[in-house]
Amino acid sequence: MTIHQLSIFLENTTGTLIQVLRHLKEAKVQLVSTTIADTAEYGILRIICSEPLRACEELKKAGVAVALSDVFALQIDNNPGAAADVVELFSRAGIGLTYIYTFLLRNKGILVFRTDKPELTAKTIEDNHLPTISEEELTV
């Protein structure tokens, strides 16, 4: 139900992002999706990629402040309102989203998110038979 995401602390200055991407390129890691939560001084770079465990080790070796986090990943239809319908379910269950981002994969919408109540989130996903997507499917 959850997949691995790399979370990386980056200073908000020129050249910090490319350093990380270079390391991933050298390690032959395939990016699936990236997003940055930025502030004036720093950003948290979030990456979904192939072989996240190995990618994390490689970045650690290179001295990067990186952590593996477990995030939920759901498939949604590529239609207007599809995301709203899913988030509505969590909202009704009293679950707060810490962050969320979406991307398209093979014409399917992918919703990635973290919440403040992981157990209740998992239960809500199961009860509503929401289609999850595995790490392997993401990087095929």
Partner 1 sequence: MIWNPNKECMSRDEMSALQGKRLHKIVDYVYHNVPFYRHKLQELDITPDDIQCIEDIHKLPFTTKKDLRDNYPFGLQAAPQSQIIRIHASSGTTGNPTIVGYTRKDIDIWSECMARCLTAYGVTREDIFSVSYGYGLFTGGLGAHNGVEKIGASVVPASTGNTEKHAKLIRDLGITGIACTPSYALYLAETMDKLGITKEQIKLRVGAFGAEPWTENMRQEIQQRLGLKGFNLYGLSEIMGPSVSYECQQQHGSHICEDHFYPEVINPVTLEPLPYGQTGELVFTTLTKEGMPVLRYRTRDLCSLMDGQCECGRTAVRMSRIEGRSDDMLIIRGINVFPSQVESVVLSMPEFAPRYMLIVDRGSNNLDTLQVQVELRQEYFTATFDTPAAIDELERKLANKLKSVLSIAAKVQLKAPNTIERSQGKSAHVIDKRKL
Identity of the residue, 42 or 103, whose beta carbon is nearer to partner 1 in the bound complex: 42
Q: Closest distance between partner 1 and the C-beta of residue 12, in Å?
A: 10
Task: Say which residue the tokens 């973290």 belong to.
Answer: 114
Show the beta-strand stretches assigned E in 84-137: 97-105, 108-115
Q: Closest distance between partner 1 and the C-beta of residue 135, in Å?
A: 16
Interface residues toward partner 1, by CB under 8 A: 5, 7, 9-11, 16, 37, 39, 41-42, 44, 46, 60, 63-70, 98-99, 114
47: Cβ–Cβ under 8 A, 6 or more apart, which residues? 5, 6, 8, 24, 31, 33, 34, 55
Two tokens, residue 25: 């390129």
Q: Closest distance between partner 1 and the C-beta of residue 111, in Å?
A: 17
Q: Closest distance between partner 1 and the C-beta of residue 78, in Å?
A: 27
81 half-sphere exposure, CB direction, 13 A CA radius: 0
Identity of the residue, 12 or 128, whose beta carbon is nearer to partner 1 in the bound complex: 12
Distance CA 104, CA 69 (A): 21
Distance CA 124, CA 56 (A): 30
Identity of the residue, 69 or 139, whose beta carbon is nearer to partner 1 in the bound complex: 69
Identity of the residue, 14 or 39, whose beta carbon is nearer to partner 1 in the bound complex: 39
